Amino acid sequence: MQRPLKTSRRDVLAWGAALASGLVACNRGEEHANAPVTPDRLTELSAIDAIRAMRQGEVSAEDYAAALLQRCEAGKHLNAFITLDRDRVLKAAREADRRRASGAQPGPLHGLPIPVKDSVNTRDYPTTGGTPALRNFRAAEDAKLIRILVDAGAIVMGKTNIHELSFGWTSNNLAFGAVHNPYDVSRIPGGSSGGTAAAVAAGMAPLGIAEDTQGSIRVPAALCGICGFRPTTRRYPNDGVMPITPLFDQVGPLARTVSDLMLFDAVITGEVAASEAVSLQGVRLGVAREYYFDSLDFEVERVINETLRKLTDAGAVLVEADVPGLDTLIQLTTAQVQLYDVVPRFNEYLDTYDAGITFEQLLAQASIDIQDTFKRYALPGAEFAIQEQDYIAARDVHLPKLRQALRDYFHQNGVAAMVFPATMAAATPIGMDVEVEINGNMVSLETVMARNISPGSTAGIPGLVLPAGLTTNGLPVGIELEGPEGSDRSVLALGRAIEQVIGRLPPPDIFGQR
């Protein structure tokens, strides 16, 4: 059962104390606790270690923000940000230092600059949705999630580039420019939250805000070699976030460590983060090969199989079991809901937040690829528009069946979570937006990026992506862990144990790829 959100000053102080004695202590062991915090190390720190250093006065919030901003400048060629105001970030950091010097108790996110996907409302920055018509749109107030983060001491670090209107998996934005993958700038970072993922992977910030309707947290996490968490739907507040459908939409975090994701979860929910280590010995993990492992790129398959071997060596038990009828249920549900809901829901958003424009007017200024997609699939009267009866069947018949099928899977097989490759292939070349080659065959990009992540977000269950390894070409491969509805904290704890077994990826060389 989820607890109500708690945002009082008392709760912020309680979170800070709990985190300082719990996750921080745990993470310091992972991050070499005795290493001094030197200027050249600042961008390498996890969020937990950076906050600890600022709370204890080892480094000022201003110096930390300046180091991250310098990294942003060095990685400018990645095009991770749409809006980044250096002076505003430094001013907020100086204010954090002033409050701490005055004797105020620092919050659990004290002085932490957090990049925000440009589909999440922020009062101090425009919220463009990556589309030209909203270039100057500025919401009157922060989204609820942003308010919680700021109340906990975080600093909004600009707005990150996205796939236009969050309607795609590449972040090849024709209006604001393509986002580039830090591991290979000729390739996509994934979408739609590609800018946040690129920023976190490149060391511009340790923790960032994304949003996931059908993979927009987990695909970029997988392709950029970082961690991404899509919680149980509605675990975190979605108010003030540009919508596709309320049935699937969910804001969430991207980070370089699972511990930082746990910190984020604790701050947003008000639940004290667990700090105890979890053992993989005897943990049962479901492997549904029929759906999730079919026709994988050879390199992805190699990396994932090696990861599964590491998990079994650590004591995990792999349970080979498939989900009956999964492919059919997804085909009857996912697209039908999104394509039917997106236009009316977006019009509601534009009206609620006084954008001064209708969706039809917005679309008239959108990039040609986005216009074509909506004109073919989502606008009233479109050639492939979803009919009302098909939407109702998807919502009221097939979606409940999907949720029940997954509940049965976890229960009947006695598995704590399901484990599988997040995407069928690693990052694909920028510009290949329709089909890509896998093992000599041409496969639709939608299938490659969305097949494996669709069941979890459609059903609303928690999904955690971890970096599993690199291809021979040096591209990240992500592995996903999904658990039953409401098992968010267990999934995160299990993810941290898996992270300790499989290790982390070497960071990308952003200086050698300009």
Q: Is residue 511 in some structural domain? A: no
Q: Is residue 19 in some structural domain? A: yes
Residue 240: both structure tokens together: 């003030």
Q: In this structure, are residues 20 and 55 in contact, taking their beta carbons and an 8 Å threshold?
A: yes
Amino acid at 340: Y
Nearest-angstrom CA–CA distance, 91 and 89: 5
CA of 467: how far to CAs of 171, 201, 263, 457, 502, in Å? 20, 11, 19, 19, 9
Boundaries of domain holding 337: 9-502
Q: Is residue 379 in some structural domain? A: yes
User: DSSP 3-state assignment of 70?
Assistant: helix
Q: In this structure, are residues 513 and 446 in contact, taking their beta carbons and an 8 Å threshold?
A: no
Going by pLDDT thresholds of 50, 70 and 90, the confidence category of residue 278 is confident
User: What stretch of H or E contains 315?
Assistant: none
Q: How many domains does the chain have?
A: 1
Per-position b or e across 206-233, b if 16+ CB within 10 A of its CB: bbbbbbbbbbbbbbbbbbbbbbbbbbbb
Q: Is residue 81 in some structural domain? A: yes
pLDDT tens-digit map of 193-240 = 999 999 999 999 999 999 999 999 999 999 999 999 999 999 999 999
Confidence (pLDDT) at 35: 61
CA of 33: how far to CAs of 28, 45, 68, in Å? 5, 11, 21
Report whether pLDDT(338) > 90.
Answer: yes
Nearest-angstrom CA–CA distance, 375 and 321: 40
pLDDT tens-digit map of 78-121 = 999 999 999 999 999 999 999 999 999 999 999 999 999 999 99
Q: Is residue 313 in some structural domain? A: yes
Please report where in the chains the tokens 């920028």 appear, as a residue: 430
The CATH code of the domain that includes 15 is 3.90.1300.10
Q: In this structure, are residues 394 and 336 in contact, taking their beta carbons and an 8 Å threshold?
A: yes
Nearest-angstrom CA–CA distance, 300 and 352: 43
Q: Is residue 355 in some structural domain? A: yes
Q: Is residue 4 in some structural domain? A: no
List the catalytic residues: 117, 192, 216
Across the chain, mean pLDDT equals 93
CB neighbours of 185 closer than 8 A, spacing ≥ 6? Answer: 77, 78, 513, 514
pLDDT tens-digit map of 214-225 = 999 999 999 999
Going by pLDDT thresholds of 50, 70 and 90, the confidence category of residue 380 is very high
Q: Is residue 216 in some structural domain? A: yes
